[in-house]
Structure formats: structure tokens, C-alpha cells
Amino acid sequence: MIVRMEKDRSIAIVILNWNGKELFETFLPSVVRNASSPGISVFVADNGSTDHSVDWLKKEFPEVRIIQLKENLGFAEGYNQALKQVEAEYFVLLNSDVEVTPGWLDPCIHLMEEDKNVAAVQPKILSYNKPHLFEYAGAAGGFIDSLGYPFCRGRILNCTEADLGQYNRVIPVFWASGACMLIRADLFRKAGGFDGDFWAHMEEIDLCWRLKNQGYAIACQPESVVFHLGGGTLSYESPKKVYLNFRNNLYMLFKNLPANQFYSILLIRLVLDGVAALKFLAGFSFSSFLAVWRAHLSFYGSLGKLINKRKQLRKQNGGYKHAEVYPGSIMWQFFIRKNRSYSNLNFRMTNETEINI
């Protein structure tokens, strides 16, 4: 289904860039080519690049609007600062290593127009290098398990499924991927944007969790398809990525866990992180072991700030229970039961009808 957007709809596609000239050469043409409808503008927010990508953009794509940040503020704060300079009804946050397809925005915007309770939407995200597979960062919509571990419809931990049309239904999800996310601008601002302390990784899960705690829905619209290269800034094996993922997961849990689960889940996660660190050590991955250690030191050093953030968020929390939280353990499913498929989780949400299309 292709639904043409209204001419007065204001949509800003904002791509955060850091030394991404080579990525732009490959991926930006598809974005610009498919952003010719009235009301759509393409922005590049440059995070203090040193590779002359801004000069290249001005020459090759003069229609793209450029926001220049003085230094690399990371994904989270980079977007926060850039979006303060953008006026639109909808923000489209798009990684610089994403290829879009004709009409990709239409189904997502139509979904949000039909259901005003939907705060953010992601398309189906497939692998650029292996188009028959879902891509790690988002696949067909994100979830978390009872211990706060994220996974996707189409990707559990590091295993991605083939796209056989098995996830072509629009459903509510727990989080939409920051690689390609459409979000209402007013709600992005109302929620306070991304948490800049995250720097990068899981900031979109934290934001979606906060929006859901305010009563809004997050959705995946698989009628829209994009292709993501992945690992364009940090490789999946990077110690810095390990550090950010472990630290930010603890940040996210501390801020957003409901009171009746706060101490028990945090304690279990701290223990399981220690197990993961020992596993890295046993596998002679010393840099990853140290990354987990550093992540925990940063977490403990940030407790004062996190306590204040949690207090503020508790004032806004409507006490919602989220059906998109898998009640079991994704780690148990993956490592013990050898389950590599979302379809085999027997995960049936009770509110799949809440998305009105």
C-alpha cells in the first residue's frame, strides 16, 4: 500500500555525520532522490568532521541543508543539538549508511496520521550487504526481555533471520531503531530528546521507554523497507561498542525500571555482566573484558546523576505495564534452548490491536 503524503506535511530527514564522506557517496543519492515530495527536507548535521565531507556535500548536494556542530558530540547529544535547529512536524533520524527505497516514508507517515498515539515508527530494516537477511540494528522492530536485554523481531543477539515475509504485519514494539526512526517532533522535545550521557548506543531504547511510560506507542511498519550497512562508525566487535552497550544498558535500567523490579533486576544484571566479563576473559578477549569493567566503573561513578534522573522520570511515569516486554530470558532462550528465531519465542503480546491502520 502506498499512500501519498499531504502537501502541507512537514518532514525533516536528519542525518548525523562524522567523517562519513565515503558513506554519503554510496547512500545519500537514494535519500535525496526519494525526498522530492513537497514538505520533505533533508538535513545533514555534521558532528565536527575532519574529512571535508561538508565541503563535498555543499558541492555535490547543494539542496541538502547543513547544520554544523563544532565538535563530535556523539549520536545522542549530536542529534539533540541539531534538532533544536530544525522545525518540522516529523523528524526522520537516519543513519548515513542507510539506503532507502521508493515511497519508503509514505506508509510510516500514514500510520502515524491514522493513530495519533503512535509516537515513533521504524521501517523494516534489511542488510545492505545481504538483502535477504534482517539487519542487526532494528530488523522488524525492537523488544526487551524481563532482564532488560534488547532483541528484535528478526534478530536475537547476533543472529539475524532471513526475511521470508514472516514479520510483515504492523505491530507495536518496545523500541524503534535509531538507524531509521520517524518520530513526532513535539513528542521528541516533550520527552527531553535523547539522554546525552549515553553518547551512542541504546539511547533510542531509553527514549522509547520514556515515551511508553507516558502512554505512547512505538510501531514497526514493514510496508516501508530500507537497507542498512551497519557498523559504519563502530564495528560490532569494537571494545568501545562493548563498553557503551554494557554501560548504557545499566543507565537505561536504572532510569526506567518500575519500582517493584528495580533492585532485583539490577542485581541480577550486575551478576550477569560479571559472567559475561569472565566469558570474555576465558576467550582471551582482554579488551572486551576491560570494556565491561570500565562500563561498571562509569555506572557506579554516575549513580548520583542517575538517581536524580530517575526521580524526575518517576514524576512523569503513568504506571504503564508494557506488553512488549518479553516475560522470559532471551539469554536462556539463546544459549540454553538454542533458539535463534523470534517466531519460536511463543511471545504473544496482548495489545497487538492497539495500532490503528
Q: Do 114 and 37 contact (CB within 8 A), yes or no?
A: no
Encode pLDDT of 174-186 as tens digits. Answer: 999 999 999 999 9
* pLDDT tier, 8 (very low <50, low <70, confident <90, very high otherwise): low
For the chain, the first-to-last Cα distance in angstroms comes to 11
Q: What is the pTM of this model?
A: 0.95
Report the pLDDT averaged over residues 293-313: 98
pLDDT of residue 232 exceeding 60, the answer is no
- Output the pLDDT for position 347: 85
b (16+ CB within 10 A) / e for 321-355: ebbbbbeebbbebbeeeebeebeebebebeeeeeb
DSSP 194: S
- Taking alpha carbons only, the member of 97, 147, 101, 77 closest to residue 327 is 147
Encode pLDDT of 23-82 as tens digits. Answer: 999 999 999 999 988 999 999 999 999 999 999 999 999 999 999 999 999 999 999 999
In degrees rounded to 5, what are phi and psi of residue 338? 60, 35
- Taking alpha carbons only, the member of 64, 50, 116 closest to residue 94 is 64
Assign 220 to helix, strand or coil.
Answer: strand
Task: Look up residue 58 and give its three cell numbers.
Answer: 555543499
Rounded distance, CA 278 to CA 282, Å?
6
Domain with CATH 3.90.550.10 in the chain: 13-228
- Output the pLDDT for position 316: 79
- Output the pLDDT for position 235: 62
Least confident of 27-31, 222-226, 263-267, 318-322: 318-322
Q: Do 206 and 244 contact (CB within 8 A), yes or no?
A: no
Q: How many residues does the chain have?
A: 357
Measured CA to CA in angstroms, residue 132 lies from 164, 165, 225, 228, 320 at distances of 8, 10, 12, 12, 36
Report the pLDDT averaged over residues 289-306: 98
Rounded distance, CA 1 to CA 289, Å?
48
pLDDT of residue 140 exceeding 80, the answer is yes
pLDDT of residue 5 exceeding 50, the answer is no
* pLDDT tier, 119 (very low <50, low <70, confident <90, very high otherwise): very high
Rounded distance, CA 155 to CA 194, Å?
24
Least confident of 146-150, 283-287, 345-349: 345-349
Element (H, E) at 125: strand 118-127
pLDDT of residue 100 exceeding 70, the answer is yes
Give CATH for domain 13-228: 3.90.550.10
